[in-house]
């Protein structure tokens, strides 16, 4: 079974992740956990603030 939004996680109540590249499966994983609208808003802010994306980019903490 693949994880994609919406998906109800039952174990973790927080996630640390970097800002993944657009259209990636990792972005879908983060959106499934944090909620699509919230994560897309975080990405909008990240773009405005010139955050770095990808493996060596900035990170975010998502608390459920």
For residue range 15-52, list pLDDT tens digits in order: 999 999 989 999 999 999 999 999 999 999 999 999 99
Task: Indicate whether 45 belongs to any domain.
Answer: yes
Count CB atoms within 10 A of the CB of residue 43. 19
On the question of pLDDT at 12 being above 90, the answer is no
The boundaries of the domain holding residue 52 are 15-63
CA distance 34 to 50: 21
pLDDT at 7: 85
Burial 14-39 (b: 16+ CB within 10 A, else e): eeebbbbeeeeeebbbbbbbbeeeeb
Task: Indicate whether 57 belongs to any domain.
Answer: yes
pLDDT at 53: 94
Instruction: Give me Rg for the CA atoms of the chain.
Output: 11
- In 3-state terms, what secondary structure has residue 38? helix
Task: Indicate whether 2 belongs to any domain.
Answer: no
Model pTM above 0.85 = no
Task: Indicate whether 51 belongs to any domain.
Answer: yes
Structural domain count, the chain: 1
pLDDT at 45: 96
49 vs 55: which has the higher pLDDT = 49
Task: Indicate whether 52 belongs to any domain.
Answer: yes
């Amino acid at each position: 079974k693949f994880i994609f939004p919406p998906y109800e996680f039952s174990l973790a109540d927080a996630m640390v992740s970097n800002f993944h590249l657009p259209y990636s499966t990792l972005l879908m994983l983060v959106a499934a956990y944090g909620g699509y609208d919230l994560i897309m808003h975080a990405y909008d802010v990240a773009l405005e603030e010139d955050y770095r994306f990808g493996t060596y980019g900035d990170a975010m903490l998502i608390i459920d």
